[in-house]
């Protein structure tokens, strides 16, 4: 989808105050927005009369710690309209101080797990999420490993793993 | 299995909480389900995943693009070729480079063979879980034959690491085309044989028809793709919707089934294998001559023979491999997807202009398909849960990454 598509124009008009930019790269359009009204925006895209983005292809995040970006984190929504065969990417920027954004788990069925994954790996909270647990890492894990300031080697989780000796065995 | 009492159910009986897995023969990998059962009826199902979490996405940030290819093998290890191809295409899209016509056709050939290899195992395991053990043995024989073909092109059987950015690790050998021709000739017969065993098998039909139903709307809302979506009646295939590798030039159909149950998924997979055979036949007729690697783009690795015999190639090799060198894509972000056997395999790549990806996200079809699993099994019997799980073909390597 190109950046001049009517859906994008309508979206820009309706949410002018919250749209940071609309860019096109290699034929793909990405709309960058501020986080607070993200759920409302995504709902308007999902329920668009002409080009409804009925499938949330993917939901992920990126940590822009070392890049020039409006905020440190962005939650990235890859949308697909089955009817029009159009794809659109929405990036909602989330600040480091308050890493939180509304949950879209009521809009798409798969958002529940995908948001749990983003919480698990990036530490971004999804407000109104029905089941805000970790999903890939163990429940008692500390830290969010896909953040850029999290070392590749880990923070000594392996060496601090609880050990049991023969005497302690039940 | 451990059982604990939890709450009250119908008939004054108590529902029971039960753990299935992570080590359980019906889960085909480390999947863990916490189910609440009322007698044999599942009332609530909570999958726990992450047992095979390997941190591929984190590792990718510390590797160059070509170095990620061996990791992509290990996502869906039943169809590593499709992962290799999907990843290479994503990076090529980011770089904006064209691959050679020969490379394109060979990738189509191997992608379809990989699809057959995945589907045939999936059908075999599905049949095994429902008691038809011989089907599983037959399908493994077929997969070994496919692995022989993969071995001639890549040297590896399970983990192929066959593609390179801008090309392939090596060209096909002389015995490749005869091997594939032989396979294409007799394989439809194997499919007929499997269908003869299963289609009128009363145990198989009774345990699959009407089991694990998923409606069209549910499937779309859960982002389900691949054979599962098509078995729910949506004719969506990335090869058609967003053609890559010249798939728009091939004549094939997108098989669908209206029912959305386990039976429908079995039927769709069988039909898809026949379509793959059609694509392979067309591709075999028309393998262009020429190089497999687009050397003029300065992004692709030259083959080993020229590195040792040609100064230009040696310089390229040096510039791409040596520490501190390597190609550097322009800063930008792309999402690229291909149709892998389980569904849409997507790659979201953020490049900051260095030789490593700044962020690499794999959209794993298994993970997203699996989100619909609890809905499908609630209200079903425990034994049906096994049938549903087998029909989804969830691969733990891709689920947990």
B259 interface with A at CB cutoff 8 Å: no
- Specify whether the backbone of B182 is left (phi greater than 0), alpha (psi in -120 to 50) or beta: alpha
From chain B residues 36-95, the ones with a CB under 8 A of any chain A CB are: 49-50, 53, 55, 57-59, 61-62, 93-94
Residue B381 is given by DSSP the state: B
Q: How confident is the model at residue A157 (pLDDT cuts 50, 70, 90)?
A: confident
> A28: distance to nearest CA of chain B, Å?
7
With 50 as the cut, is the pLDDT of residue B366 above it?
yes
Q: Which pair of tokens denotes residue A48?
A: 């668009």
Q: How confident is the model at residue B2 (pLDDT cuts 50, 70, 90)?
A: very low
Instruction: Show me where the domains of chain B are located.
Output: 3-48, 56-400
Mean pLDDT over each residue of chain A, to the nearest integer: 88
**Contact between B21 and B27 (Cβ < 8 Å):** yes
Residue indicated by tokens 């089907």 = B135
Q: What is the mean pLDDT of residues B107-130?
A: 91
pLDDT in tens, B201-240: 898 998 898 888 889 998 999 999 999 999 999 999 999 8
The residue that leads in pLDDT, B313 or B1, is B313
Mean pLDDT over each residue of chain B, to the nearest integer: 88
Q: How confident is the model at residue A90 (pLDDT cuts 50, 70, 90)?
A: very high
Q: What is the mean pLDDT of residues B126-141?
A: 89
pLDDT at B20: 86
pTM of the model: 0.90
Report, at the CATH architecture level, how domain B56-400 is classified: Orthogonal Bundle (1.10)
pLDDT in tens, A46-60: 988 888 999 999 999
pLDDT in tens, B269-278: 999 999 999 9
Q: Helix or strand or coil: residue B308?
A: helix
Percent of chain B whose pLDDT exceeds 70: 95
Sequence-distant (≥ 6) Cβ neighbours of residue A7 within 8 angstroms = A1, A45, A48, A50, A51, A86, A88
| ipTM, interface predicted TM-score of the complex | 0.91
Question: What does residue B57 show for φ and ψ, rounded to 5 degrees?
Answer: -70, -35
With 80 as the cut, is the pLDDT of residue B12 above it?
no
B241 interface with A at CB cutoff 8 Å: yes
**Contact between B146 and B140 (Cβ < 8 Å):** no
B195 interface with A at CB cutoff 8 Å: no
With 70 as the cut, is the pLDDT of residue B4 above it?
no
The answer to whether A58 contacts B58, with C-beta atoms less than 8 Å apart, is no
Q: Which pair of tokens denotes residue B131?
A: 């008691």
Residue indicated by tokens 């393998």 = B287
Pick from B93, B242, B372: CB nearest A26 = B93
Rounded Cα gap, residues A111 and A60, in angstroms: 10
> A57: distance to nearest CA of chain B, Å?
6
Q: Helix or strand or coil: residue B338?
A: strand
- Say which range, A143-157, B23-37, B39-53, B352-366, has the weakest mean pLDDT: B23-37
Domains and CATH numbers, chain A: 6-127 (3.30.460.80)
């Amino acid at each position: 989808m190109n950046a001049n598509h009517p859906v994008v124009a309508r979206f820009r008009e309706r949410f002018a105050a919250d749209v940071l930019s609309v860019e096109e790269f290699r034929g793909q359009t990405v709309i960058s927005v501020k986080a607070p009204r993200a759920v409302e925006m995504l709902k308007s895209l999902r329920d668009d009369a002409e080009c409804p983005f009925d499938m949330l292809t993917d939901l992920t995040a990126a940590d822009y710690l070392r890049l020039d970006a409006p905020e440190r984190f962005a939650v990235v929504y890859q949308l697909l309209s089955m009817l029009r065969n159009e794809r659109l990417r929405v990036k909602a920027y989330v600040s480091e101080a308050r890493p939180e954004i509304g949950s879209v788990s009521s809009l798409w069925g798969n958002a529940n797990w995908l948001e749990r994954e983003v919480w698990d790996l990036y530490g971004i909270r999804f407000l109104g999420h029905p089941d805000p647990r970790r999903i890939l890492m163990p429940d008692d894990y500390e830290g969010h490993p896909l953040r850029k300031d999290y070392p590749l080697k880990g923070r000594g989780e392996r060496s601090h793993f609880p050990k049991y000796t023969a005497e302690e065995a039940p | 299995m451990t059982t604990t009492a939890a709450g009250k159910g119908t008939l004054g009986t108590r529902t029971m909480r039960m753990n299935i897995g992570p080590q359980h023969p019906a889960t085909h990998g480390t999947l863990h389900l916490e189910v609440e059962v009322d007698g044999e009826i599942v009332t609530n199902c909570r999958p726990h995943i992450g047992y095979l979490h390997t941190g591929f996405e984190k590792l990718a940030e510390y590797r160059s693009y070509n170095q990620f290819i061996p990791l992509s093998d290990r996502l869906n290890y039943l169809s590593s070729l499709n992962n290799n191809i999907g990843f290479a295409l994503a990076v090529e899209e980011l770089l904006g480079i064209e691959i050679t016509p020969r490379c394109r056709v060979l990738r189509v050939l191997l992608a379809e063979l990989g699809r057959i290899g995945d589907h045939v195992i999936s059908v075999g395991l599905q049949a095994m879980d429902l008691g038809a053990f011989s089907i599983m043995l037959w399908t493994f024989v077929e997969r070994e034959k496919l692995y022989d073909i993969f071995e001639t092109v890549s040297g590896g059987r399970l983990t192929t690491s066959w593609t390179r950015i801008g090309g392939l690790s090596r060209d096909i050998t002389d015995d490749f085309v005869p091997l594939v021709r032989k396979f294409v000739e007799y394989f439809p017969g194997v499919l007929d044989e499997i269908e003869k065993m299963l289609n009128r098998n009363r145990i198989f039909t009774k345990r699959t028809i009407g089991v694990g139903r998923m409606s069209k709307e549910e499937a779309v809302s859960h982002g389900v793709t691949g054979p599962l979506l098509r078995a729910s009646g949506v004719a969506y295939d990335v090869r058609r919707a967003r053609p890559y590798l010249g798939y728009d030039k091939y004549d094939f159909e997108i098989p669908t089934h209206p029912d959305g149950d386990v039976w429908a998924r079995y039927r769709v997979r069988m039909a898809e294998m026949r379509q793959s055979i059609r694509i392979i036949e067309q591709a075999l007729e028309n393998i262009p001559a020429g190089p497999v690697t687009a050397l003029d783009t300065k992004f692709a690795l030259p083959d080993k023979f020229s590195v040792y015999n040609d100064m230009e190639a040696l310089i390229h090799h040096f510039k791409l491999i040596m520490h501190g060198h390597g190609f550097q894509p322009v800063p930008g972000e792309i999402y690229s997807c291909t149709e892998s056997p389980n569904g849409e395999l997507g790659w979201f790549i953020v490049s900051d202009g260095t030789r490593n990806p700044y962020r690499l996200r794999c959209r794993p079809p298994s993970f997203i398909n699996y989100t619909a699993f609890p809905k499908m099994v609630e209200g079903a019997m425990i034994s049906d849960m096994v049938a549903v799980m087998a029909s989804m073909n969830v691969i733990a390597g891709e689920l947990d990454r």
